[in-house]
Amino acid sequence: MMTIRYYLFAIHPIVYTILLLPAVIVSSISTGGLWRWVRGGEYMTREGLAVYEFGGRDVIHFLNTRSEDAILLESDGHFALIDAAEHSRPGADGQPAGGHERYIIDYIQRVAGGNLDFVLATHPHIDHMGGFRTILRADGITVGRAYARPGESRYHAELAEACAEKGIELIQEGLDGLQFTLGNMRLTILNGGPDDPRAGVNGNSMCLLVECNGSNALLAADTNYASDTEMRLADAVGGRLDLLKVGHHGYDGSNGPVYLARLRPATAVYTNIYDWININVKRRFALVSNTTQLCTGDFGGIAAVFGAGGVGYYAIGEYPSGIGGME
Protein backbone atom coordinates (compact mmCIF):
# COMPACT_ATOMS: atom_id res chain seq x y z
CA MET A 1 0.00 0.00 0.00
CA MET A 2 1.31 3.45 -0.90
CA THR A 3 2.01 5.63 2.10
CA ILE A 4 1.28 9.33 2.59
CA ARG A 5 5.01 9.89 2.27
CA TYR A 6 4.99 8.29 -1.18
CA TYR A 7 2.35 10.77 -2.35
CA LEU A 8 4.25 13.72 -0.87
CA PHE A 9 7.40 12.73 -2.71
CA ALA A 10 5.37 12.21 -5.87
CA ILE A 11 4.47 15.92 -5.66
CA HIS A 12 8.05 17.04 -4.95
CA PRO A 13 10.71 16.32 -2.30
CA ILE A 14 10.80 20.03 -1.40
CA VAL A 15 7.14 19.85 -0.31
CA TYR A 16 7.98 17.01 2.06
CA THR A 17 10.95 18.96 3.43
CA ILE A 18 8.83 22.04 4.09
CA LEU A 19 6.23 19.98 5.94
CA LEU A 20 8.93 18.48 8.16
CA LEU A 21 10.91 21.69 8.55
CA PRO A 22 10.31 21.74 12.35
CA ALA A 23 12.29 18.48 12.66
CA VAL A 24 15.16 20.03 10.71
CA ILE A 25 15.14 23.10 12.96
CA VAL A 26 15.12 20.99 16.13
CA SER A 27 18.08 18.96 14.85
CA SER A 28 19.96 22.12 13.88
CA ILE A 29 19.56 23.55 17.38
CA SER A 30 20.02 20.36 19.42
CA THR A 31 23.19 19.28 17.64
CA GLY A 32 24.73 22.75 17.72
CA GLY A 33 24.71 23.05 13.95
CA LEU A 34 22.94 26.40 14.03
CA TRP A 35 25.59 27.96 16.30
CA ARG A 36 28.35 26.57 14.14
CA TRP A 37 26.61 28.05 11.10
CA VAL A 38 26.39 31.47 12.76
CA ARG A 39 30.10 31.38 13.67
CA GLY A 40 31.01 30.43 10.08
CA GLY A 41 34.36 28.93 9.11
CA GLU A 42 35.38 25.85 7.17
CA TYR A 43 32.75 23.12 6.91
CA MET A 44 35.15 20.21 6.59
CA THR A 45 38.11 18.81 8.49
CA ARG A 46 41.04 18.84 6.07
CA GLU A 47 43.98 18.11 8.34
CA GLY A 48 44.82 16.68 11.75
CA LEU A 49 44.15 12.95 11.34
CA ALA A 50 46.81 10.62 12.67
CA VAL A 51 48.38 8.15 10.24
CA TYR A 52 46.70 4.75 10.26
CA GLU A 53 48.79 1.83 11.51
CA PHE A 54 47.64 -1.28 9.70
CA GLY A 55 46.70 -4.48 11.43
CA GLY A 56 44.06 -6.59 13.09
CA ARG A 57 41.12 -4.43 14.09
CA ASP A 58 37.50 -3.74 13.20
CA VAL A 59 37.94 -1.23 10.39
CA ILE A 60 36.19 0.28 7.40
CA HIS A 61 38.83 1.25 4.84
CA PHE A 62 37.59 3.99 2.48
CA LEU A 63 40.12 3.74 -0.33
CA ASN A 64 41.34 6.81 -2.19
CA THR A 65 39.98 6.27 -5.70
CA ARG A 66 39.05 9.80 -6.76
CA SER A 67 35.25 10.10 -6.94
CA GLU A 68 34.66 6.35 -7.02
CA ASP A 69 33.75 3.79 -4.35
CA ALA A 70 35.99 0.96 -3.17
CA ILE A 71 35.45 0.19 0.50
CA LEU A 72 37.17 -2.65 2.35
CA LEU A 73 35.58 -4.04 5.51
CA GLU A 74 37.89 -5.72 8.04
CA SER A 75 36.86 -7.52 11.22
CA ASP A 76 38.60 -10.20 13.26
CA GLY A 77 40.59 -11.49 10.29
CA HIS A 78 37.66 -11.39 7.85
CA PHE A 79 37.40 -9.04 4.88
CA ALA A 80 34.86 -7.88 2.30
CA LEU A 81 34.84 -5.39 -0.58
CA ILE A 82 31.94 -3.00 -1.18
CA ASP A 83 32.11 -1.79 -4.79
CA ALA A 84 35.24 -1.83 -6.95
CA ALA A 85 35.68 1.65 -8.45
CA GLU A 86 36.11 2.17 -12.19
CA HIS A 87 37.71 -0.16 -14.71
CA SER A 88 40.65 0.88 -16.83
CA ARG A 89 39.97 2.24 -20.30
CA PRO A 90 42.41 2.92 -23.13
CA GLY A 91 43.98 6.36 -22.84
CA ALA A 92 45.12 8.64 -25.64
CA ASP A 93 48.34 6.63 -25.98
CA GLY A 94 46.48 3.33 -26.10
CA GLN A 95 47.60 2.37 -22.60
CA PRO A 96 45.09 1.65 -19.82
CA ALA A 97 43.95 4.79 -18.01
CA GLY A 98 41.21 5.88 -15.64
CA GLY A 99 40.93 2.78 -13.48
CA HIS A 100 42.19 1.83 -10.05
CA GLU A 101 41.98 -1.97 -10.14
CA ARG A 102 45.71 -2.48 -9.65
CA TYR A 103 45.74 -0.33 -6.55
CA ILE A 104 42.66 -2.07 -5.11
CA ILE A 105 44.11 -5.51 -5.83
CA ASP A 106 47.43 -4.58 -4.21
CA TYR A 107 45.61 -3.16 -1.19
CA ILE A 108 43.52 -6.31 -0.75
CA GLN A 109 46.58 -8.51 -1.04
CA ARG A 110 48.55 -6.38 1.40
CA VAL A 111 45.83 -5.90 4.02
CA ALA A 112 43.63 -8.99 3.59
CA GLY A 113 46.12 -11.47 2.19
CA GLY A 114 43.99 -11.53 -0.95
CA ASN A 115 41.07 -13.26 0.78
CA LEU A 116 37.57 -11.77 0.75
CA ASP A 117 34.58 -13.38 2.42
CA PHE A 118 32.33 -11.55 -0.03
CA VAL A 119 31.97 -8.63 -2.40
CA LEU A 120 28.87 -6.44 -2.73
CA ALA A 121 27.96 -4.41 -5.80
CA THR A 122 25.68 -1.52 -4.92
CA HIS A 123 24.45 -0.45 -8.38
CA PRO A 124 25.46 -0.72 -12.05
CA HIS A 125 27.50 2.42 -12.63
CA ILE A 126 31.09 2.33 -13.84
CA ASP A 127 32.50 4.08 -10.76
CA HIS A 128 31.08 1.38 -8.48
CA MET A 129 30.95 -1.89 -10.44
CA GLY A 130 33.41 -1.29 -13.26
CA GLY A 131 36.45 -2.75 -11.51
CA PHE A 132 34.89 -6.07 -10.49
CA ARG A 133 35.61 -7.75 -13.83
CA THR A 134 39.37 -7.38 -13.25
CA ILE A 135 39.53 -7.69 -9.46
CA LEU A 136 37.57 -10.94 -9.23
CA ARG A 137 39.71 -12.54 -11.93
CA ALA A 138 43.02 -11.38 -10.49
CA ASP A 139 45.65 -13.92 -9.42
CA GLY A 140 45.98 -14.02 -5.66
CA ILE A 141 42.40 -12.84 -5.00
CA THR A 142 39.86 -15.30 -3.59
CA VAL A 143 36.20 -14.46 -2.96
CA GLY A 144 33.64 -16.55 -1.14
CA ARG A 145 30.43 -15.02 -2.49
CA ALA A 146 29.04 -11.96 -4.26
CA TYR A 147 25.89 -9.92 -3.61
CA ALA A 148 24.21 -7.94 -6.40
CA ARG A 149 20.70 -7.18 -7.51
CA PRO A 150 19.68 -8.88 -10.76
CA GLY A 151 20.00 -6.68 -13.81
CA GLU A 152 20.82 -6.56 -17.50
CA SER A 153 23.59 -3.95 -17.58
CA ARG A 154 27.06 -4.73 -18.90
CA TYR A 155 28.36 -4.54 -15.33
CA HIS A 156 25.91 -7.18 -14.14
CA ALA A 157 27.01 -9.38 -17.05
CA GLU A 158 30.71 -8.85 -16.29
CA LEU A 159 30.18 -9.63 -12.60
CA ALA A 160 28.23 -12.80 -13.41
CA GLU A 161 30.87 -13.95 -15.91
CA ALA A 162 33.71 -13.39 -13.44
CA CYS A 163 31.83 -15.21 -10.69
CA ALA A 164 31.16 -18.16 -12.99
CA GLU A 165 34.82 -18.33 -14.04
CA LYS A 166 36.11 -18.28 -10.46
CA GLY A 167 33.36 -20.45 -8.92
CA ILE A 168 32.05 -17.60 -6.76
CA GLU A 169 28.49 -17.92 -5.49
CA LEU A 170 26.41 -15.00 -6.85
CA ILE A 171 23.45 -14.12 -4.60
CA GLN A 172 20.80 -11.93 -6.24
CA GLU A 173 17.54 -12.73 -4.46
CA GLY A 174 16.26 -12.13 -0.94
CA LEU A 175 18.67 -9.28 -0.37
CA ASP A 176 16.49 -6.59 1.22
CA GLY A 177 16.94 -6.75 4.99
CA LEU A 178 19.34 -9.69 4.76
CA GLN A 179 21.50 -9.91 7.91
CA PHE A 180 24.79 -11.72 8.37
CA THR A 181 28.12 -11.23 10.10
CA LEU A 182 31.69 -10.49 9.14
CA GLY A 183 33.87 -11.21 12.15
CA ASN A 184 32.58 -8.86 14.86
CA MET A 185 30.51 -6.81 12.42
CA ARG A 186 26.78 -7.29 12.08
CA LEU A 187 25.73 -6.37 8.56
CA THR A 188 22.29 -5.60 7.12
CA ILE A 189 21.59 -5.01 3.44
CA LEU A 190 19.15 -2.12 2.95
CA ASN A 191 17.30 -0.93 -0.15
CA GLY A 192 17.86 -4.31 -1.74
CA GLY A 193 14.31 -4.96 -2.92
CA PRO A 194 12.69 -4.45 -6.33
CA ASP A 195 13.70 -1.28 -8.18
CA ASP A 196 11.68 1.86 -7.55
CA PRO A 197 11.09 3.31 -11.04
CA ARG A 198 10.97 6.84 -9.60
CA ALA A 199 14.38 6.60 -7.99
CA GLY A 200 16.64 5.92 -10.98
CA VAL A 201 19.81 3.82 -10.84
CA ASN A 202 21.42 5.84 -8.03
CA GLY A 203 18.30 5.92 -5.87
CA ASN A 204 18.07 2.14 -6.16
CA SER A 205 21.57 1.60 -4.78
CA MET A 206 21.91 -1.23 -2.29
CA CYS A 207 23.21 0.06 1.01
CA LEU A 208 24.87 -1.61 3.97
CA LEU A 209 24.32 -0.97 7.67
CA VAL A 210 27.38 -1.90 9.73
CA GLU A 211 27.11 -2.40 13.51
CA CYS A 212 30.22 -3.17 15.57
CA ASN A 213 31.41 -2.61 19.14
CA GLY A 214 28.40 -0.46 19.99
CA SER A 215 28.80 1.88 17.00
CA ASN A 216 27.12 1.95 13.61
CA ALA A 217 27.77 3.09 10.06
CA LEU A 218 25.64 3.40 6.94
CA LEU A 219 27.33 2.91 3.58
CA ALA A 220 24.80 4.82 1.49
CA ALA A 221 26.29 4.25 -1.99
CA ASP A 222 24.72 6.76 -4.43
CA THR A 223 21.29 7.15 -2.85
CA ASN A 224 19.50 10.45 -3.42
CA TYR A 225 16.33 12.27 -2.46
CA ALA A 226 14.59 12.07 -5.84
CA SER A 227 12.27 9.54 -4.17
CA ASP A 228 11.71 8.51 -0.56
CA THR A 229 14.78 6.25 -0.61
CA GLU A 230 16.61 8.32 2.00
CA MET A 231 13.58 8.29 4.29
CA ARG A 232 13.30 4.51 4.02
CA LEU A 233 16.97 4.25 4.96
CA ALA A 234 16.37 6.50 7.97
CA ASP A 235 13.43 4.29 8.97
CA ALA A 236 15.63 1.20 8.79
CA VAL A 237 18.48 2.73 10.81
CA GLY A 238 16.00 3.99 13.38
CA GLY A 239 18.23 6.47 15.16
CA ARG A 240 21.45 8.43 15.21
CA LEU A 241 24.43 7.29 13.14
CA ASP A 242 28.05 7.33 14.20
CA LEU A 243 29.25 7.26 10.57
CA LEU A 244 27.62 7.98 7.24
CA LYS A 245 29.31 7.23 3.94
CA VAL A 246 27.93 10.24 2.10
CA GLY A 247 25.44 9.44 -0.65
CA HIS A 248 26.56 10.01 -4.24
CA HIS A 249 29.99 11.37 -3.30
CA GLY A 250 28.51 14.62 -1.98
CA TYR A 251 26.94 15.82 -5.23
CA ASP A 252 23.77 17.88 -5.08
CA GLY A 253 20.52 15.92 -5.10
CA SER A 254 21.60 13.68 -2.22
CA ASN A 255 21.74 13.91 1.58
CA GLY A 256 18.54 15.87 2.08
CA PRO A 257 17.91 17.95 5.22
CA VAL A 258 15.13 15.77 6.67
CA TYR A 259 17.28 12.66 6.19
CA LEU A 260 20.19 14.33 8.00
CA ALA A 261 17.90 15.57 10.76
CA ARG A 262 16.71 12.03 11.40
CA LEU A 263 20.13 10.33 11.27
CA ARG A 264 22.24 13.17 12.77
CA PRO A 265 25.51 11.45 11.75
CA ALA A 266 28.43 12.27 14.03
CA THR A 267 30.88 11.88 11.13
CA ALA A 268 30.47 11.81 7.37
CA VAL A 269 33.03 10.42 4.91
CA TYR A 270 33.00 11.57 1.30
CA THR A 271 34.54 9.24 -1.27
CA ASN A 272 35.64 12.11 -3.49
CA ILE A 273 38.11 14.90 -4.11
CA TYR A 274 37.40 17.99 -2.00
CA ASP A 275 36.90 20.47 -4.84
CA TRP A 276 34.27 18.27 -6.49
CA ILE A 277 31.95 18.16 -3.46
CA ASN A 278 28.87 20.36 -3.71
CA ILE A 279 28.97 23.29 -1.29
CA ASN A 280 25.25 22.97 -0.49
CA VAL A 281 25.78 19.42 0.73
CA LYS A 282 28.63 20.55 2.99
CA ARG A 283 26.43 23.31 4.36
CA ARG A 284 23.54 20.94 5.08
CA PHE A 285 25.75 18.59 7.07
CA ALA A 286 27.09 21.52 9.06
CA LEU A 287 23.80 23.30 9.68
CA VAL A 288 21.34 20.42 10.12
CA SER A 289 23.40 17.84 12.00
CA ASN A 290 26.70 19.54 12.97
CA THR A 291 28.52 16.63 11.37
CA THR A 292 32.31 16.26 11.23
CA GLN A 293 33.07 15.94 7.50
CA LEU A 294 36.05 14.09 6.05
CA CYS A 295 37.09 13.54 2.43
CA THR A 296 39.14 10.57 1.19
CA GLY A 297 40.99 12.78 -1.30
CA ASP A 298 42.40 14.91 1.52
CA PHE A 299 43.84 12.00 3.49
CA GLY A 300 44.84 9.44 0.88
CA GLY A 301 41.96 7.27 2.06
CA ILE A 302 40.38 7.05 5.51
CA ALA A 303 40.37 4.19 8.03
CA ALA A 304 37.42 4.21 10.44
CA VAL A 305 38.38 2.03 13.42
CA PHE A 306 35.55 0.69 15.59
CA GLY A 307 36.75 0.49 19.17
CA ALA A 308 35.14 0.14 22.58
CA GLY A 309 35.11 3.92 22.98
CA GLY A 310 33.59 4.72 19.58
CA VAL A 311 34.91 5.20 16.05
CA GLY A 312 38.35 6.69 15.47
CA TYR A 313 39.44 8.13 12.12
CA TYR A 314 42.89 7.89 10.58
CA ALA A 315 44.59 8.92 7.35
CA ILE A 316 45.64 5.99 5.18
CA GLY A 317 47.87 8.42 3.29
CA GLU A 318 48.11 6.67 -0.06
CA TYR A 319 47.87 8.52 -3.37
CA PRO A 320 47.91 6.12 -6.34
CA SER A 321 49.00 7.51 -9.68
CA GLY A 322 46.60 10.06 -11.11
CA ILE A 323 44.63 10.69 -7.89
CA GLY A 324 44.01 14.32 -7.05
CA GLY A 325 46.41 15.41 -9.78
CA MET A 326 49.33 13.46 -8.27
CA GLU A 327 51.41 11.22 -10.51
Instruction: Give domain status of residue 321, yes or no.
Output: no
Instruction: Give domain status of residue 198, yes or no.
Output: yes
Other CB atoms within a 10 A radius of the CB of residue 164 amount to 10
The CATH number of whichever domain residue 18 belongs to comes to 3.60.15.10
What share of the chain has pLDDT > 90, as a percent? Answer: 70
Rounded average pLDDT over 105-115: 97
Instruction: Give domain status of residue 147, yes or no.
Output: yes
How high is the pLDDT of residue 177?
96
Beta strands in the chain (DSSP E): 59-62, 71-75, 78-82, 89-90, 96-97, 115-120, 142-147, 169-171, 179-182, 185-190, 207-212, 215-219, 243-245, 267-270, 292-295, 302-307, 310-315
pLDDT confidence tier of residue 2, bands split at 50, 70 and 90:
very low
Q: At a CB cut-off of 8 Å and minimum separation 6, what does 71 contact?
A: 60, 61, 62, 63, 81, 82, 83, 219, 245, 271
* Lowest mean per-residue pLDDT among 2-6, 97-101, 161-165, 191-195: 2-6
Instruction: Give domain status of residue 248, yes or no.
Output: yes
Question: Is residue 280 within 8 Å of residue 251, measured between CB atoms?
Answer: no
What share of the chain has pLDDT > 70, as a percent? Answer: 88
Q: Which domain holds residue 181?
A: 4-45+132-311
Q: What would the pLDDT profile of 41-75 be if each residue is shown by its tens digit?
A: 678 999 999 999 998 799 999 999 999 999 999 99
The pLDDT mean for the chain works out to: 88
Instruction: Give domain status of residue 267, yes or no.
Output: yes
pTM value is 0.91
Instruction: Give domain status of residue 83, yes or no.
Output: no
Q: Residue 179 pLDDT more than 50?
A: yes
How high is the pLDDT of residue 20?
67
Q: Please, which residues bridge with residue 62 across strands?
A: 71, 302
Instruction: Give domain status of residue 24, yes or no.
Output: yes
How high is the pLDDT of residue 14?
61
Could you give the CA distance from residue 22 to residue 183 in angstroms, rounded to a whole number?
41
Q: How many structural domains compose the chain? A: 1
Instruction: Give domain status of residue 143, yes or no.
Output: yes
Question: Is residue 44 within 8 Å of residue 293, measured between CB atoms?
Answer: yes
Rounded average pLDDT over 130-136: 95
